Structure 1
Amino acid sequence: MSTVTETLAPAPADAPRRRRLLTPGAVVATLLLVGIVGAVALAPVLAPGGYDAQDVASRYTAPTWFGAHPLGTDELGRDILVRVLYGGRPALGISVVAALLSTALGLTLALLAALGGGLWDGLLGRVADIQLAIPSILLALVVLAFAGTGFVPLVTVLSIGAWVLTFRILRVHAGTVAALPYIEAARLGGARTWSVLWRHVLPASAPLLIVALTLNFSSVLILESSLGYLGLGVQPPRPDWGQLVASGQAQLAGAWWISLIPGALIVLTVVSLQVIGDRLADHFSLATRKEH
């Protein structure tokens, strides 16, 4: 988090020019992410038979590119390719909703802290520090133990665990924008706080929202998968990436593909999001420096 905040912080005017937005790494990460999300979204089309179809005669079939089961089967003969495609739907769907909500919450609090200053800034900063001191997984375990594992409790705990990242990123930038002369002139001219936020500070902070949303998505996906692994995420028989990793843990020695393949998809998705987020942060920080 500190690395991202430092990347987005103002820099001297003579700072060296950064690379262009479309680097080879960013292109590969984008294509990989689009491919994974597209395949998951089209799961009912690519695998119309459903995720729970069993073929006991094909139990523990190893992956083979030219066979009926390219990524192998599990202990019940269920196709791993089909299950990871369907398992990505709740994992990515819940993560997207939680990332949007956490980004919106972090943005709102960051703008209030930047423009309110004084008591508001100090209070929200301390709340963010307290939130950082509590491990997100611990908070999620406590909440889900009482609230259950439905869609709303999952989205709630994931959103609460991720808003601080957006707050930290946008608080630095929004504070810089709020101190600019034209913002001070608008406030002295009688403009209301919400008007200043909506018309001036928010548009100037909009590019960083994309960065915050990308980074939030990756952190939320990790937490969602961790909860699924612990049995507190999406419940069987519906598959989920974290749940699939846990289901094959006992067979790692003889049937490694049951856990390794969904685990690899989680890693690839998160790494792709991080690469894209870092590249966007690098690009937009340069654009902001040029404007101001």
Structure 2
Amino acid sequence: MTAEIAGLLAASDAAHDTRRARRTIGPAGIAGAVALAVVVLVTAAAPWLVGDPLEQDFLAILQPPSPTHLFGTDELGRDILTRVVHGGRSALVITVVPGLVASVAGLALAVLGALLGGAVDAIGGRLADVQLAVPTIVLAIVILSFVGNSFVPLVVVLVLGSWVLTFRVIRGHARAVVRQPYIEAARVAGAGRGAIAWRHLLPSVLPLFFVAFTLSASAILLLESSLGFLGLGIQPPQPDWGAMVAAGQARLSTAWWLAIFPGLALILTIVALQLLGDGLAERFGTGRAGTKGAPR
């Protein structure tokens, strides 16, 4: 009996390793990873690459792109390239922090529900249903209108709007895993819930976690930029891609660079995250099924 149980557990681990070794993230995933790495490196090196995003030059107001100002200047003479790069730093921070918190919360709730079942799993499912019933952008507008739009409330809103994606992606898979023969064999061998979660369940769902995190991060970035466009995100004069697009839309016919360049930066970053998520899904063989529930 002991040898049979050991064989089941070893076969499970070997199957996971073999499946993972056969896959790569593919050309699209590599392109997304490279583009995202460029965005991260450029924004991280912003203090050394560009100047002060708040510096004004009233002799260079609304200048079009030129060798002096590659992305042009705004109505206060501020360099658009500098503001786009520094806006990327804010965007990455406001994306990664809520993304990690929300993804870990969704992972924990899904794993606990799968292990404990019953009321715990039912409560998680009902919470997800309630979250999906309310458009995230509406929830964010209501909350930020009452409590203000400083950093902490903004992070809380983004977490509340994005945990459900990771939860929904992982929940079904985790519930299927705990019904596998090797999990039952581990229980018969005397393994506790903690050991089963650490030894078998978490390694099985971690690939889904990474896929869900990249997709959740892109949805969070889009939501944060939408809030910035509506004036509920990072407040001026600090640069924010959504707010810059909103400020430049009224001058599209005369000063197109005000909105186009921050908009392109936003699109590039979101597409890079999506491509990386697709590549990771291909690498781990998870597909995009079950990723519904992104912030809307």
Band of TM-score, shorter chain: 0.7 to 0.9
Alignment deviations for residues 224-257 of structure 1 (CA, whole Å, 9 cap, x no partner)? 1111111111111111111111111211111111
Aligned with 2:61 (options 56, 59, 62): 59
Alignment deviations for residues 162-221 of structure 1 (CA, whole Å, 9 cap, x no partner)? 011101111122112111122123334554333322232112212222111111110110
In structure 1, C-alpha distance between the alignment counterparts of 2:65 and 2:213, rounded to whole Å: 35
Moved more, 100-109 or 180-189: 180-189
Verify the 8 A CA contact 2:26 2:282 in the aligned structure 1: no
2:149 is aligned to 149
1:273 is aligned to 273
Q: What does 1:197-236 correspond to in 2, within 5 Å?
A: 197-236=197-236
**What SS does the corresponding residue of 2:231 show, helix, strand or coil?**
coil
Q: Which runs of 5+ in 1 are unaligned?
A: 1-18, 288-292
In structure 1, C-alpha distance between the alignment counterparts of 2:245 and 2:136, rounded to whole Å: 20
Q: What does 1:64-213 correspond to in 2, within 5 Å?
A: 64=66, 67-213=67-213
Verify the 8 A CA contact 2:29 2:278 in the aligned structure 1: no
1:24 is aligned to 27
Moved more, 250-259 or 179-188: 179-188
In structure 1, C-alpha distance between the alignment counterparts of 2:218 and 2:65, rounded to whole Å: 28
Q: Which runs of 5+ in 2 are unaligned?
A: 1-21, 288-296
Moved more, 278-287 or 251-260: 278-287
In structure 1, C-alpha distance between the alignment counterparts of 2:231 and 2:62, rounded to whole Å: 23
In structure 1, C-alpha distance between the alignment counterparts of 2:135 and 2:194, rounded to whole Å: 33
Total equivalences in the alignment = 266
Verify the 8 A CA contact 2:23 2:284 in the aligned structure 1: no
2:36 is aligned to 33
**What SS does the corresponding residue of 1:112 show, helix, strand or coil?**
helix
In structure 1, C-alpha distance between the alignment counterparts of 2:253 and 2:61, rounded to whole Å: 15
| CA displacement at 1:143 relative to structure 2 | 1.2
**What SS does the corresponding residue of 1:98 show, helix, strand or coil?**
helix
In structure 1, C-alpha distance between the alignment counterparts of 2:25 and 2:167, rounded to whole Å: 27
In structure 1, C-alpha distance between the alignment counterparts of 2:228 and 2:72, rounded to whole Å: 22
In structure 2, C-alpha distance between the alignment counterparts of 1:148 and 1:278, rounded to whole Å: 35
2:260 is aligned to 260
| CA displacement at 1:150 relative to structure 2 | 1.6
Name the Cα RMSD after superposition: 1.8
Alignment deviations for residues 132-166 of structure 1 (CA, whole Å, 9 cap, x no partner)? 11111111111111221121111111011001110
**What SS does the corresponding residue of 2:59 show, helix, strand or coil?**
helix
Amino acid at match of 1:77: G
TM-score, normalised by the number of residues in structure 1: 0.86
| CA displacement at 1:101 relative to structure 2 | 0.4
In structure 2, C-alpha distance between the alignment counterparts of 1:257 and 1:36, rounded to whole Å: 19
| CA displacement at 1:36 relative to structure 2 | 1.2
| CA displacement at 1:72 relative to structure 2 | 0.6
| CA displacement at 1:20 relative to structure 2 | 4.8
Verify the 8 A CA contact 2:162 2:216 in the aligned structure 1: yes
Aligned with 2:49 (options 46, 49, 55): 46
Change (3 A) 1:22 1:212: closer
Moved more, 116-125 or 37-46: 116-125
In structure 2, C-alpha distance between the alignment counterparts of 1:37 and 1:148, rounded to whole Å: 29
In structure 1, C-alpha distance between the alignment counterparts of 2:86 and 2:252, rounded to whole Å: 22
In structure 1, C-alpha distance between the alignment counterparts of 2:143 and 2:190, rounded to whole Å: 44
1:10 is aligned to none
